[in-house]
Amino acid sequence: MSWDEGRFDRFVDATIRMAKGQMPGYGQPHVLLPYAPPDELYCLGQVRTVLRSRLTQAGLVSEPVAVAPLVAQATARYRNRLLNDADDYLSFPKTPSAAENYPASFTLQ
């Protein structure tokens, strides 16, 4: 996945529509924009400038939230947890790449 300006514009438009109640936000108070790791600095710049500017023009206020520290904090509880049953280890992903097949709620509960 490489950076796509058109996709980002659609994301901004959808974000504004959701914030104004013109499009369902599915009960979530936040929006997510997936991007490729090499595009991170560019994406952060776009979110801080373009997205914030367009939201302000639409009469809205934004607050970017870094998710990685929140996930690290939530998962820290499980880092050294004791496995009560010999098969408890089966509930964890075998590799980090396998973790994407688990719902976020598995991590945050």
Residue 76 burial by Cβ neighbours in a 10 Å radius (0-12, 13-18, 19+): exposed
Cα 71–7–63 angle (5° rounding)?
45
Place of tokens 């939530």: 74
pLDDT at 20: 87
Full-model pTM: 0.56
Place of tokens 């991590």: 107
41 contacts: CB under 8 Å, gap ≥ 6: none
Q: Select the more confidently predicted residue: 9 or 82.
A: 9
pLDDT at 62: 79
Residue 15 has pLDDT above 60, yes or no: yes
Decide if 64 contacts 47 (C-beta within 8 A).
Answer: yes
18 contacts: CB under 8 Å, gap ≥ 6: 24, 25, 31
Alpha-carbon gap, residue 59 to 54, rounded angstroms: 9
pLDDT at 59: 93
Alpha-carbon gap, residue 98 to 42, rounded angstroms: 27
